[in-house]
A and B are shown apart, each in its own frame.
Chain A
Amino acid sequence: MAPTKSINGQDLREMFAAAASWLEKSSADIDALNVFPVPDGDTGTNMLLTMRSTIEESQLANDHSASGVSKAMARGALVGARGNSGVILSQIFSGLSQALDGKDAINGKELADALAKASTVAYAGLSNPVEGTILTVIREAAEAAQAHAATVSDDVVSVVEATVNAAKESVANTPTLLPVLREAGVVDAGGQGLYTILEGVLHYLKGEVEQLKLRRPWMVASSIPLTAKSPQMVGMEEVPYGYCTNFVIKGEDLNPDKLRKRLEKRGQSVIVVGDDSAVRVHIHTLDPGDIMSYVVPMGTLHQINIRNMDEQYRDFIEMQKERMPAVEVAIVAVVAGEGLANVFTSLGATFIVPGGQTMNPSTKDLLQAVDVVTSDKVIILPNNKNIVLTANQVQSLTEKTIQVVPTTTIPQGVAALLAFDYEADMETNAQSMEKARTAVKSVEVTRAVRSTKLGGLDIKKHQAIGFLNGDLVAVGDKPDAAVQDVLARVNLDEAEVVTIYYGDDTTSEEAEVVGDSLDEQHPRLQVEVVKGGQPYYNYIVSVE
């Protein structure tokens, strides 16, 4: 039966071995999460390999006390560490072993203190600790463990349970701390890995052998709603370059702190961990030879591993493609206004070209967007009648296959995008998007820029004017009234959904008033008021 009062050396071996098998089940899923600090997509594998080395070394230890086994683990983790998360994990084991020094067995309180030490050591190993990563998770988990041990119970299982719960919460919270995670819509991969390890330990301590065997770890969901991910986001990230260089120096009187400071001048993402006899180095550099020459006088070099990050990055892009369905067809949309851009991106548009009524993008602008997206097949949504022709030009300038769905308004563009079918080919999609485009009615309201007579209407400068499907049908002093006026010409009894996108110059209160009055007049209608943030148009309204 699992211990609850204390943990000895053998327990340490077994609980972390169980944790390693638990981690193994989800290492591929964790790989898929990796977006930070470099998109190389192998955090799960790196942590797993680090754990394996940790466990192997622990089994070789002759000293079976908690102190002896944890020292062996720290050694195993240090020599086996791969990737940023692996290195930080090795720091955690290093911290644990420092706290367990000289101890035969530990109770819950001592375990909590050891986790706190692990957290301190992990932070100290990095020249520039970043929150929202595995670091935050170990720190918050350790804090919870200490608080629990101090105020609730120092029973080992209950301390570990509190640790695991805090770790899970901390992982879910990582996207709020790191924008890159938020954009990609994922939690931090290293944090998830650490949570999974702690959870594996807990299952073991609770004697949940069947769980460990038959279940697989849950991936923590982000605590903030996901924004749609798209290859666009990846393409916009700073592309890493150079070589990811890893090695161990063995020697005498090595000074990790001094070495770290020196190396920071020679590369990026520098991690230096170890002691005066063995130091592990991780650095991104344009010239690995330079780094090698620099360190070789200090001792002997081991486990040299140099990888081309551009290749890693390409693999990452490939993996991103696999994660999302049907990115073989990308959608480029021309949209003005941040709110509307968000709407299009959230519905799966791959790339937004800023533009619209008052700023028509050039063919080159569109061509660049088409070239940037990773897909060879691209559907363009111009969303304005003045941009359709420009969009049609793109095909003659690119090798890629282009389909223009000639959307002339934002509502048409949204309707077309909603009709996109992740399973269908480009031809079929273009057809169904065209069908959806023509089924929607578009209302646009703006201010007249000069006085004129048009469509039998007398219009003064700055008056609000309303268009229905591109035709001028209403004029009034206020945009709100003009919207109502245009909508009065549409048979709303046959409509199901009305979406009101309010512009840059319109407040949400004003827009809500328009929405509420529609709601009152047509209770069966689904009315949605969305911030479009578009320039020029006070209101763009879609009637479906």
Chain B
Amino acid sequence: MTVKIVTDSLGDIPSDVARELDITIIPLNVLFGEGIYRDGVDLTTEQFYQKLAKSQVLPTTQIPSLGVFVESCDELAKESDEILVISNSQKMSASYEAMVEAVEKMKRPGRVEVIDSQWAIMAQGLIVIATARAAKKGASLDELIALTKKNIPRADVRMVFDSLEYLEQGGRIGKARAFLGSKLKITPILGIREGEAFPFSREHSRARAIDHLYYFATSFSHIDEMAVEDATTPREADALAKRLKSQFPKMNIYRTTVSPVIGAHVGPRVLGVAVLGDRG
């Protein structure tokens, strides 16, 4: 029996990829004042940023009620006795805690395991994709757990920010606080370390910051999976993906966008590269 793979919407996995690999994505919620939207379901990334531009209030985000997690897992439990849930970093959202709690509340508890990916955006997404691919080939739950845990330290991501204000407002700034308050217009390049935002580098121009993303990807000696994601600048992301493609001609590079919930915390004009692979 195929093990079912579940994750939350913070991994930014494109819906066609999720369909193809049979990944169940539980959407978090984004709130504009009174309006509640399920991440990527009721609101696309494009619609989100249109709303953001017009909205008087800053959006907030929340995990869905426990019932949504429980129902989704119960639904899957009808199809398989074994489920592997790979969540967003628990230092960034309550998704992991909620999923663990949901598993306890499930009506038909087959064997369900929950792993904290310790990542977000496509770094989380690539780990889930690799695991889902192995699941499709018939790997056992134990093998999938081992694979996921092996891949967690192999993932990495860098993201160019236009502004850190959203990250700060949402309380997800972490050590990237060091980049706040600059008297010059700098372009921060953040990543994730130990499950939290980390200030890696900064450039004085966006073009150079994008170069930084390129060199980040090319610093890997071996790459399993790669993704380029954007928020509001698809042409920039396409150009970067093309540039990377010419460096890695055989690589399938996922092109995706940040989900609305991620968007609420990173703001417009972010651009990121995620890699699952090995260095040196």
Contact = CB atoms under 8 A, between A and B. Distances in A.
Interface stretch (A84-92, A137-145, A218-226, A270-278): A218-226
Given A214-B101, A422-B175, A226 B180 contact: yes
A422 B204 contact: no
Interface string A137-160: 000000000000000000000000
Contacts of B177: 185, 226, 324
A228 B178 contact: yes
Interface in A399-418: 414-415, 418
Interface in B62-78: 63, 65-66
A528 interface: yes
Interface string B195-211: 00011111111011000
B182 interface: yes
A327 to B, nearest CB: 9
Interface stretch (B6-14, B183-191, B240-248): B183-191
B181 A226 contact: yes
Contacts of A226: 168, 177, 180-181
A339 B66 CA distance: 52
A423 interface: yes
A423 B183 contact: no
Contacts of A219: 171
B235 to A, nearest CB: 16
Contacts of A422: 175, 178, 198-200
Q: Which of B97, B177, B178, B180 has the most CB of A within 10 A?
A: B178
B199 A214 contact: no
Contact of A228 (B180, B202, B208): B180
Nearest to B95: A214
Interface string B147-174: 0000000000000000000001101000
Interface string A410-453: 00001100100111000000000000000000000000000000
A418 B177 CA distance: 15
B27 to A, nearest CB: 17
Interface residues of A, number: 33
Contact of A347 (B101, B168, B184): B184
A185 B181 contact: yes
B97 A214 contact: yes
Nearest to A185: B181
A215 B178 contact: no
Given A324-B175, A325-B178, A499-B184, A544 B168 contact: no
B94 interface: yes
Interface in A327-383: 339, 342-343, 346-348
A225 B177 CA distance: 11
A251 to B, nearest CB: 47
A210 interface: yes
Interface in A480-511: 496-497, 499
Interface of B: 63, 65-66, 94, 97-98, 101, 168-169, 171, 175, 177-178, 180-186, 193, 198-205, 207-208
Q: Which 5 A-B pairs have the closest CB atoms?
A: A496-B205, A226-B181, A346-B183, A343-B183, A325-B175
Interface of A: 185, 210, 214-216, 218-219, 221, 225-228, 324-325, 339, 342-343, 346-348, 414-415, 418, 421-423, 496-497, 499, 526, 528, 530, 544
22 contacts: A185-B181, A210-B65, A214-B63, A214-B97, A214-B101, A215-B94, A221-B168, A225-B180, A226-B181, A228-B178, A324-B175, A324-B177, A346-B183, A346-B184, A347-B183, A422-B198, A423-B193, A423-B198, A423-B200, A496-B204, A496-B208, A544-B204
